[in-house]
């Protein structure tokens, strides 16, 4: 789509990237620095301690690696597993699909458990597989915490409980790309790197550990500006409630099939068969300067996504909901203008301190 300039700001309501706090933007607006200067290790040491708080640990060893979520996947897999290791991995949407593809291409033996898109990981099947695995051939269980393609959040505590109940030593590997800093999460995986035989270079944790001990922290040149912007931004659960109420008022359905799986960070909205959800996203951008998330893969053309995470407030979300109502009217859906906004406003007024 062509870039269209409009006054004011773009209304960014995709599940990522998200709105950035102004102090963070200002912190990034600085010149590059010598990564070998004494200031960089001092800053890095502080950041590593701060990151521990995000992951709810006081003893864990975090790594700051400039990469995308795909790189984080590869880092976790190659540092903890060896080629041929058996993995149980849950396919519930586009991002779990991509992670499984990576697992297979890296040479692991992937036992895929597939659910209908809009459902969470089938933990009954996990329990049966662990019960049958008395020889402990399963080396890892891989779960996407927050599947943004469908708006599904998996219950990690329940997965951990199942592993503990069967006293199974499998590693629990989690994609936290759209949940860390937003949903509760606590990790522990470093011990496994001592026996992992997967080939790794750029993502090798041992390289980092070596430079951690030296006190310089970085095994290569890092993008210093990126690390000036680390700030913890927790999500407001109220925004999810407002969005769900609006969707219900419009007479539409959530792609996520059970309330227990509803994501706090994104809502995927199903549209009627006669509407192409891609047109909703296109019109939002072109006509109203509103960015919504597309439906991906199996739900392409069937859902649009409203991201409600990052640096935004409830009144900003009301603006997004108003824009969605106008778009729905544009594409021929018989929405009553103001219905979703009114439902959200009523709830917000009664639940704001």
**101: which 2 tokens?**
């593809």
pLDDT per position as a tens digit, 173-194: 999 988 877 667 767 678 888 8
pTM more than 0.85: yes
Q: Would you say residue 347 has pLDDT above 80? A: yes
User: How far, in Å, are 202, 245, 319, 336 from residue 342 at the CA level?
Assistant: 51, 9, 12, 11
Domains (range + CATH), the chain: 11-20+233-350 (3.90.1150.10), 23-229 (3.40.640.10)
Between 295 and 231, the higher pLDDT residue: 295
Cα separations (Å) of 251 from 156, 328, 341? 31, 11, 13
The rounded percent of the chain whose pLDDT value lies above 70 is 93
- Strand pairing report for 171-175 and 303-307: unpaired
What backbone phi and psi angles, to 5 degrees, belong to 174?
Answer: -125, 135
Phi-psi region for residue 279, left (φ > 0), alpha (ψ -120 to 50) or beta?
alpha
Reduce the DSSP state of residue 30 to 3 states and report it.
coil
User: Is 287 part of any known ligand binding site?
Assistant: no
106, pLDDT greater than 60: yes
pLDDT of residue 255: 98
Question: Mean pLDDT for the chain?
Answer: 91
Q: What pLDDT score was predicted for residue 1?
A: 47
Is residue 266's pLDDT more than 90? yes
Question: Cα–Cα distance between 322 and 320 in angstroms, integer?
Answer: 5
> pLDDT, tens digit, for every residue of 236-250?
578 999 999 999 999
Q: Express each pLDDT in 58-105 by its tens digit.
A: 888 999 898 999 999 999 999 999 999 999 999 999 999 999 999 999
Residue 128's Cβ-count burial label (10 Å; 0-12, 13-18, 19+) is exposed
Give me the pLDDT at residue 54, please.
Answer: 82
| Share of residues in the chain with pLDDT > 90 (%) | 70
Residue 173, beta-bridge partner list = 142
Which two tokens mark 96?
């779990």
| Across 290-316, average pLDDT | 95
Quick one: pLDDT at residue 14? 95
- Parallel, antiparallel or unpaired: strands 86-91 and 146-147: unpaired
Q: What is the DSSP letter of 67?
A: S
Residue 223 burial (C-beta neighbours within 10 Å; 0-12, 13-18, 19+): exposed
Distance CA(180)–CA(113), nearest Å, equals: 24
270, pLDDT greater than 50: yes
Which span out of 65-74, 106-115, 229-238, 281-290 was modeled with the highest average pLDDT? 106-115
pLDDT for residue 229: 56
**CA-wise closest residue to 257 among 152, 180, 165:** 152
- Name which of 180, 290, 185 is nearest 235 in CA terms: 180
Strand order from edge to edge, sheet including 266-270? 253-254, 266-270, 303-307
pLDDT band per the 50, 70, 90 thresholds, residue 285 = very high
Question: How high is the pLDDT of residue 230?
Answer: 56
pLDDT single digits (tens) 119-167 = 999 999 999 999 999 999 999 999 999 999 999 999 999 999 999 999 9
- Report whether the peptide linkage leading into residue 32 is cis, meaning its omega lies within 30 degrees of zero: no
State the pLDDT confidence band at 113, using cuts at 50, 70 and 90.
very high
Cα separation of 224 and 236, whole Å?
30
Which pLDDT band, with edges at 50, 70 and 90, does 4 fall under? low
**What kind and span of H or E run contains 253?**
strand 253-254
């Amino acid at each position: 789509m062509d870039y269209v300039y409009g006054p004011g700001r773009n209304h960014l309501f995709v599940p990522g990237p998200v709105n950035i706090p102004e102090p963070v933007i200002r912190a990034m607006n600085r010149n590059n620095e010598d990564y070998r200067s004494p200031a960089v290790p001092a800053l890095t040491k502080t950041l590593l301690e701060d990151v521990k708080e995000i992951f709810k640990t006081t003893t864990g060893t975090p790594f700051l690696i400039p990469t995308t979520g795909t790189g984080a996947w590869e880092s976790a897999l190659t540092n903890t597993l060896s080629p041929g290791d058996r993995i149980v991995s849950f396919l519930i949407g586009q991002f779990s699909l991509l992670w499984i593809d990576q697992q297979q291409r890296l040479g692991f033996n992937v036992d895929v458990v597939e659910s209908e898109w809009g459902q969470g990981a089938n933990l009954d099947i996990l329990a049966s597989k662990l019960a049958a695995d008395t020889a402990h051939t399963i080396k890892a269980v891989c779960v996407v915490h927050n599947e943004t393609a469908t708006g599904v959040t998996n219950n990690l505590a329940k997965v951990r409980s199942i592993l503990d109940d069967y006293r199974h030593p499998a590693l629990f590997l989690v994609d936290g790309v759209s949940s860390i800093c937003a949903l509760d999460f606590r990790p522990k995986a470093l011990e496994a790197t001592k026996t992992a035989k997967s080939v790794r270079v750029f993502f090798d944790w041992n390289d980092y550990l070596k430079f951690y001990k030296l006190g310089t922290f970085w095994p290569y040149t890092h993008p210093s500006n990126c690390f000036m912007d680390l700030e913890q931004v927790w999500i407001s659960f109220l925004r999810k409630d407002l969005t769900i109420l609006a969707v219900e008022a419009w007479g539409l359905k959530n792609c996520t099939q059970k309330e227990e799986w509803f994501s706090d960070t994104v809502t995927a909205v199903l549209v009627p068969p006669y509407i192409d959800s891609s047109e909703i996203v296109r019109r939002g951008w072109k006509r109203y300067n509103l960015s919504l998330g597309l439906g991906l893969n199996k739900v392409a053309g069937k859902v649009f996504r409203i991201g409600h995470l990052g640096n935004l407030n409830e009144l900003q979300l009301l603006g997004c909901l108003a824009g969605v109502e106008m778009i729905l009217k544009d594409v021929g859906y018989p929405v009553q203008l103001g219905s979703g906004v009114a439902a959200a406003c009523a709830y917000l007024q009664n639940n704001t301190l």
